[in-house]
Structure 1
């Protein structure tokens, strides 16, 4: 049934229906008894663009709320991680340690001159008091120190000779060759000495026989 937007008319039996659709107000004149539920449902429908806009607004609000909650969770995590560091007892311990260090530095600054003189003066010229109970341990400690220094010198000498190792090996090989030559010469000399001893024995025996013959004659 066609409906036209008309102003209200009170002369006949009709009803004026006003529906707001978007930003427009539509006024319909409907005869008595002809208003149905379908017409009311149609008039209640709103534009789809406004529905989408409201949904988008809701989604934006939800995302902003989620972001805010994530920030709060991150802050809680940071607070939990830093709880031990910023705990009052821990801070008190750090303050005590810093105070002790400050007191120590102040004492060092006060004794700066005497400490400098002690550092410049050799410690070996001072008599260090040691109780008699620990004398034997000090003797043993000195023996160990001397042994350690000797071994350290040997190790240092070995380390110093590492760059000249090839040259030293060449010298050792030459020395071994010379030793072989000397050994062979010594063996030859020993053989010659043995031969000379035998010859001397023969000569002495010959001289003895000659002297015996001369005495007999």
Structure 2
């Protein structure tokens, strides 16, 4: 039998009950305070909740184990299971139908295989003609660029020799430019001297004719010798430039 609560004034008239009754009558302690002290503490409630959580976790773990066992059983099922047999039967039937169709068209397939694929016209629907034209343009452009790249790759071993030849050609070009400038200067000088000589020729001829009339022999003019030397220099410069 459970023992009586010594703090409950209604159970028995012991010293504690009398004391509590005296406190209640003197309003030092209220009945609500006594009722609160009689309630169970919250720690026992937390213990019960923890026990429930533990039970739920154990149940979840058990269910996970059952799921894993079922998945293993599914993966390692016997091949004679009806579902697997139905899948295999369907695959065999589809393969058999395909082989029957191939055997029916054996003659046409043999002719198609013996016929060369190259130089043949493939039937293309009219809807795709514009795309085929664009595709052919792209293919031609790709082939041209590919040929250029291949030619560049083939010429890579000869780049050093080509660079040396280019340097030599540039040096020769510089020499030719210098010689051409000198030749242009000589030509300009020759033109000026020709203008000067042509301006003096009428006067010299008039004087020479007058001297011939009087029977005087005139030596060759120095201007003609200078002109001949200039002409010789110009011709030599032109010959060296062409060579």
Q: TM-score, normalised by structure 2?
A: 0.45
Residue 172 of structure 1: CA displacement? 1.4
Within a 5 Å distance, the mapping from 1:134-145 to structure 2 comes to 134-145=128-139
Partner residue, 1:115: 109
CA distance in structure 1 between the partners assigned to 2:81 and 2:142 by the alignment: 50
**Does 2:163 match 1:176?**
yes
**Does 2:88 match 1:101?**
no
Residue 148 of structure 1: CA displacement? 4.2
**Structure 1 residue ranges without an equivalent (≥5):** 1-74
Flag the structure with more relative contact order, 1 or 2, with Cα contacts below 8 A and sequence separation at least 6.
2
Partner residue, 2:181: 194
Within a 5 Å distance, the mapping from 1:1-217 to structure 2 comes to 79-83=73-77, 87-123=81-117, 127-151=121-145, 157=150, 161=154, 168=157, 171-217=158-204
1:116-149, CA deviations, whole angstroms, 9 ceiling, x for partnerless residues?
2112213456554433332212222322333444
Distance change in 2, residues 1:152/1:182 (3 Å): closer
- Give 1 or 2: higher helix fraction: 2
Count of paired positions: 136
Residue 204 of structure 1: CA displacement? 1.6
1:141-161, CA deviations, whole angstroms, 9 ceiling, x for partnerless residues?
322333444455566x47985
CA distance in structure 2 between the partners assigned to 1:141 and 1:182 by the alignment: 44
Distance change in 2, residues 1:202/1:138 (3 Å): same
**Structure 2 residue ranges without an equivalent (≥5):** 1-68, 205-243
**RMSD, aligned α-carbons:** 3.4
- Give 1 or 2: higher strand fraction: 1
Q: TM-score, normalised by structure 1?
A: 0.50
